[in-house]
């Protein structure tokens, strides 16, 4: 049984503690680190990883996801069954992009600590499920509606396409929610992009390596969405952009 | 057989070299990264992780621990059997917090290099033990007394509790050796804390998220000890504190 | 079947995506992270890791190596069989130090994205090979000559030894291509080292811990080559050195 881990713990010792707990309960579990480099407390970044990476694992995988600035406060912990996978973590928006949510179980588990539910709640629940226990043994079934971040749907307005910055990834690539299909541009075209504080013109290219190192470009990222990037650099810092910001753009040539 | 790795190698290529060596000797070993983010050369930080994380793994696990500023100098390498687990690493204080030490074997192994005993001594010895070889084949049994860091026991003195900073963890949380039971305070109380260079007043709260982002708080950490932290920040840097420093505190309201 | 991963992805979410793809194709594969801390776009650093670390894994291992500044441009992807191991990645110099290259297959695989061949080409090809498929099903067999970086062979010239900086490792150790055998010096000797911009005198010592913290030293690194290092510090930054630079040195006392 595969149990994946996605956290903002920075590859620290606390990741190891979660692994120890899992293996003590389910010694045969195969633990796979997805990443522990989610930007600290950036639920939006975590949600993007859950939506784009977890589904690439085999059906039946269990995904423990912990980006949890509200640990110990009133946010609820959940187990979610969606698309043949099981997700365990705090219900704070991390599960925004899950499709086909079949069940949500609100966890009602006594935690040994108030500060580390990754180790004391989410890891042991995931391990117990891997051993064959049922999620509903750990809480009550509620409406299959996880908390979802508000995401503005992309739309056309005249020659402009309006959308938002889904998140800035670990490399600083600015990932928008504008799908490839909405953009009617050929490679080499120039785009005008308006962000909250800046307006830039960038070439629309096939891949990072088509721009000079250090130069801004637009491209279709590996998930099929428009992305602003700097070849061998960090577009998020260069542009001062954060996840959730609105943007609009049009093709100028 | 589980072999865990804990180092200050920073997730570098040298971790990969240890894994290659282990799998070449014991192809069925299950290697689990605990962390490679121990603060460089910080034996105290390593000792804290050994004491709090390794014991969470199943009995019978073998733990390779390498924080080894003295590699190639005279410090000895050891295998330690304690509490149903086996530990392999340099005997420089890393094993301070192990309880129930049953045996210590001083390693007498020819190393291929003078600079990388993690790869050339500790990893192969751990792998050989995983394959069923006996620790005493690699050295001689000595007194079951690993080198231990000097830790000042916490104590009451009038209205003050005196203790020390056990270590600053990867997040910058200042973990003391004052156990929950010694502190007679309710959530919301104010504590006065004296460090070597600073005196601060901090609220005693249930968890990080109960303080404003960026604000200092005191809480009971996940190991049951008093901890100074900054919600979404780094208390160690803010206070200029290091592992080993003395502190004292009292409840002021 | 062991599949190792070596990238410059920085332990980001994109590593997790590769793992998901591999396990979906080859659920029994044992994925081992070698490192994801290759200096960004530093093919030379990647080549050093391939040459020194991958060969330590058991024969039959499959190594996915992705340091790929040219992704989506014309560089070719390859599968290489060498020394009982299989390597998969871009043919841009990463495989410079492989010995006994038996076969090279140029990949001719349609990629789902132009930006992430690690996930869309190299990971699935490696997983398919782990499942028993033949490399030649994914491309055509070409001359067994991977692209190799130009490395100046070390040589003696009077009392000087000339060589080059093979790479600067993750710790900042300056690893040369001068083998232990060429250096006729005893521990404690002083070496004069000329780099492009600097000339320094350094003691030749047994290991890092024999120098004071913060002091430069020369030593024989764990691969058997002369290395410049700073005890508990970063020699690459201190000296302003990069991989590929020439250097020469002699024993002065």
Test C114 with A219 for CB contact under 8 angstroms. Answer: yes
A110, A142, A174 - which closes a domain: A142
CATH of the domain at C162: 2.40.30.90
Question: By residue range, what is the domain housing residue A234?
Answer: 155-251
Q: Is residue C82 part of a domain?
A: yes
Q: Is residue A147 part of a domain?
A: no
Test B232 with A41 for CB contact under 8 angstroms. Answer: yes
Query: Percentage of residues in chain A with pLDDT exceeding 70?
Result: 100
- Residue A166 binned pLDDT confidence (cut-offs 50, 70, 90): very high
Considering the domain architecture, whether residues A161 and A127 belong to the same structural domain is answered as no
- The per-residue pLDDT for B231 is 92
Whole-number Å distance between alpha carbons of C63 and C86: 6
Which subunits sit against C, judged by 3+ Cβ pairs under 8 A? A, B
Q: What average pLDDT does the segment B36-64 reach?
A: 95
CB-neighbour burial class of residue A70 (10 A; exposed 0-12, middle 13-18, buried 19+): middle
Considering the domain architecture, whether residues B92 and B203 belong to the same structural domain is answered as no
Full-model pTM = 0.94
Q: Is residue A148 part of a domain?
A: no
Considering the domain architecture, whether residues C183 and C135 belong to the same structural domain is answered as no
Of C11, C17, C20, the CB nearest to A11: C11
**More confident of the two residues A178 and C196:** A178
Compute the Cα dihedral for B185, B188, B191, B197 and give only its sign.
positive
Considering the domain architecture, whether residues C109 and C169 belong to the same structural domain is answered as no
C88, C117, C142 - which closes a domain: C142
Nearest to B3 by CA among A16, C58, C2, A7: A16
For helices C13-25 and A43-52, angle between their N-to-C axes, nearest 10 degrees = 20
Of C10, C24, C69, the CB nearest to A56: C24
Mutate to test the interface with A, among B204, B207, B218 (most CBs of A within 10 A): B207
Nearest CA in chain C to A227: C115
- Per-residue model confidence as pLDDT tens digits over B150-189: 999 999 999 999 999 999 998 899 999 999 999 989 999 9
Q: Is residue B147 part of a domain?
A: no
Size of interface A-B (CB pairs under 8 A): 97
CATH of the domain at C72: 3.40.50.10790
Test C170 with B24 for CB contact under 8 angstroms. Answer: no
* Cβ neighbours of residue C42 closer than 8 Å, sequence gap 6 or more: C8, C67, C167, C243
C142, C173, C198 - which closes a domain: C142
Test B56 with A21 for CB contact under 8 angstroms. Answer: yes
Considering the domain architecture, whether residues A177 and A126 belong to the same structural domain is answered as no
Considering the domain architecture, whether residues C101 and C19 belong to the same structural domain is answered as yes
Whole-number Å distance between alpha carbons of C2 and C22: 11
Q: Is residue B120 part of a domain?
A: yes
Considering the domain architecture, whether residues A98 and A211 belong to the same structural domain is answered as no
Vertex C210, ends B75 and B165: CA angle to 5°? 60
Residues of C in contact with A4 (CB under 8 A): 16, 20
Q: Is residue B149 part of a domain?
A: no
Q: Is residue C10 part of a domain?
A: yes
Considering the domain architecture, whether residues C220 and C118 belong to the same structural domain is answered as no
Test A115 with B35 for CB contact under 8 angstroms. Answer: no
- The per-residue pLDDT for B234 is 95
- The per-residue pLDDT for A238 is 94
Token code pair at residue B114: 């003078």
Which subunits sit against A, judged by 3+ Cβ pairs under 8 A? B, C
Residues of A in contact with B11 (CB under 8 A): 11
Test B72 with C11 for CB contact under 8 angstroms. Answer: no
Considering the domain architecture, whether residues C129 and C197 belong to the same structural domain is answered as no
Q: Is residue A103 part of a domain?
A: yes
Considering the domain architecture, whether residues A6 and A119 belong to the same structural domain is answered as yes
- Per-residue model confidence as pLDDT tens digits over A124-151: 999 999 999 999 999 999 999 999 999 9
Asked whether B172 and B243 are in contact (CB, 8 A), the reply is no
Test A207 with C115 for CB contact under 8 angstroms. Answer: yes
Whole-number Å distance between alpha carbons of C62 and C68: 18
Considering the domain architecture, whether residues B75 and B34 belong to the same structural domain is answered as yes
**What is the domain count for chain C?**
2
Residue A164: phi, psi to the nearest 5? -145, 165
Whole-number Å distance between alpha carbons of C28 and A55: 18
Considering the domain architecture, whether residues C110 and C187 belong to the same structural domain is answered as no
Residues of C in contact with A52 (CB under 8 A): 13, 17
């Amino acid at each position: 049984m595969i149990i994946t881990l996605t956290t903002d713990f920075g590859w620290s010792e606390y990741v190891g503690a979660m692994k120890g707990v899992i293996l003590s309960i389910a010694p045969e579990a195969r633990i796979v680190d997805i990443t522990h480099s989610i930007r600290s407390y950036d639920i939006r970044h975590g949600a993007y990883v859950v939506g784009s990476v977890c589904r690439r694992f085999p059906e039946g995988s269990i995904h423990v996801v912990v980006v949890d600035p509200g640990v110990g406060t009133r946010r609820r912990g959940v187990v979610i069954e969606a698309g043949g996978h099981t997700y365990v973590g705090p219900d704070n928006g991390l599960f925004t992009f899950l499709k086909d949510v079949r069940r949500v179980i609100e966890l009602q588990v006594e935690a040994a600590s108030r500060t580390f539910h990754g180790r004391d709640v989410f890891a042991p629940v995931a391990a117990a499920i891997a051993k064959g226990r049922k999620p509903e043994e750990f809480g009550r079934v509620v409406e299959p509606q996880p908390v979802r971040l508000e995401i503005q749907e992309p739309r056309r307005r005249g020659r402009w396409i309006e959308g938002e910055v889904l998140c800035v990834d670990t490399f600083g690539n600015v990932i928008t929610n504008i799908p490839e299909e909405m953009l009617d541009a050929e490679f080499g075209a120039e785009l005008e992009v308006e962000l909250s504080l800046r307006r830039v013109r960038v070439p629309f290219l096939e891949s990072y390596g088509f721009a000079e190192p250090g130069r801004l470009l637009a491209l279709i990222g590996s998930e099929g969405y428009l992305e602003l990037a700097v070849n061998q650099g960090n577009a998020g810092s260069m542009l001062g952009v954060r996840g959730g910001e609105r943007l609009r753009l049009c093709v100028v040539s």
